[in-house]
Structure 1
Amino acid sequence: MPENANTGTPGNVSRDSRAYPMERDGEVTSSLYLVQLTCPQCGKSTLHAEFPDHYEAWIKCSSCGFFMGMSHDEWHSMENSPNLNEKIKKMARKKKILEL
């Protein structure tokens, strides 16, 4: 067998956390600090985060239809912040989803 043949064994594989983000359940409606997520567009507490795969997060409002996608790393960084709702609003303005 050639030296570089793929034998199905992983060998020395780095387990970088950015490559393997933590598993999430289907939906989140509050921050790690148990703050209810508030929609930056309509102001209602009907905002939730969904995780369609290991690499992205979707922020959706069931009242007004607000939608914003982001990377899982961006969500994780914001979720660990005590002012999550303000960070969501700031990101929506930066992405030009919300008017200034």
Structure 2
Amino acid sequence: MIAHVKGFSEEVENLKRRIYGHTNAFSKRNRRMGAPQDYLDHLAVSIGAAISDFRRLRATGLMAPDDVKELENGLNELREAYTKNESYSGAER
């Protein structure tokens, strides 16, 4: 059981790193040159995968409330950044 919980905790931390890694990379890319469509497409797939992983982990009932809130906030920030850039990119074309 302890190995399962340890593995679960590592999975939660990996998901946090993925979400915040995408958010940071996305912000840096936007400041430098804007996001090309292929990057937006890649990001959309990554956001979808992160949401699926989050839902799967949350459904176990093992996630700490602080982790749930942190991941929800991170996903919301990432979605907002994506939506802003997608509408900006579409207007440029």
Q: Larger C-alpha radius of gyration, 1 or 2? A: 1
Q: Which has the higher strand share?
A: 1
What range describes the TM-score normalised by the shorter chain of this pair?
Answer: under 0.3
| TM-score where L is the length of structure 2 | 0.24
Q: Which has the higher helix share?
A: 2
Q: Which has the higher contact order (CA 8 A, sep 6+)?
A: 2
